[in-house]
Amino acid sequence: MTGELSPIDKAKFVAARRAADFVEDGMRVGLGTGSTAAWLVRCLGEMVRDNGLRIKGVPTSTRTAELAREVGIEVITLDEARWLDVTIDGADEFDGQLNLIKGGGGALLQEKIVATASDQMIVIADAGKEVETLGAFPLPVEVVPFGWKTTQALIEETLISMDVLGRSSTLRMNGSQPFITDEGNHILDLHLNRIGNPRQLALVLNQMPGVVENGLFIDICDVVVLGFGDGRVELRDINEGTVQHDKMDFVEGDNLFGDLAD
């Protein structure tokens, strides 16, 4: 590994390493998108290479699919898998009830479809992703390109009656052009600051014409694996009501993950 990883990257690494223990031989595994999920894909690739782990991965984006193939994971579609044993993904925010905001990487639609088609969803995160109330991270909403400005205006008008602190939104850009999702849609980022009733907001947003899906994941996550820069890991199981603490060994010389450092 070239240079020492930052504490945040170490936290992501140990969370991913611990979450990989949930994956067993023969499983169909949903593979998330984003910087934290990339650590998990690399960990699973190492297990495939070194331990003979046999799994089938269902990626939530084209870039995750490329990485999975690169590290030796067999990639199949969700239609081929039909149902998954587990999905492991990151999150932009999570609260005490393990409700999430996701979509910072632009793959929220496929991420939500894959997560809800799984027996269990596990989120891997560093401690900075935990919040008392969702909303500090902009809420992504995937919208169809046709009439997106009208959809944006409708969303902002509707937010007046919602329990939120902010009501502005911005079209996500990729350089000088709108960001395009894998499904060919745009993303509006809602700057809400605080979401008082995320369940209500998720339902209202998805009733609007032009909205494809929103980044609120309510009652979907089962376990959060929280990593810390010193190698500590905390597992919170919302169904069992348990909290478990572990300590993972971190090998600084392991260069399998060197290209994932921010």
List active site positions.
Answer: 111
Q: Is 34 labeled as ligand-binding? A: yes
CA distance 76 to 81: 7
Residue 15 tokens, joined: 């969370």
Q: Is 135 labeled as ligand-binding? A: no
Residue written as tokens 């939530």? 60
User: Is beta strand 74-75 parallel, antiparallel or unpaired with respect to 216-217?
Assistant: unpaired
Residue 161's CB: how many other CB atoms inside 10 A?
Answer: 9
Q: Is 150 labeled as ligand-binding? A: no
Q: Is 36 labeled as ligand-binding? A: yes
Show Cβ contacts of residue 56 under 8 Å, excluding neighbours closer than 6 positions: 27, 28, 29, 74, 75, 76, 81
Q: Is 33 labeled as ligand-binding? A: yes
Q: Is 184 labeled as ligand-binding? A: no
Q: Is 237 labeled as ligand-binding? A: no
Q: Is 89 labeled as ligand-binding? A: yes
Q: Is 170 labeled as ligand-binding? A: no
Q: Is 176 labeled as ligand-binding? A: no
Residue 123 tokens, joined: 């989120």
Show Cβ contacts of residue 3 under 8 Å, excluding neighbours closer than 6 positions: 261
Asked whether 135 and 207 are in contact (CB, 8 A), the reply is no
Q: Please enumerate, by residue number, every residue annotated as part of a binding site.
A: 33-36, 89-92, 102-105, 129
Q: Please enumerate, by residue number, every residue annotated as part of a binding site for substrate.
A: 33-36, 89-92, 102-105, 129
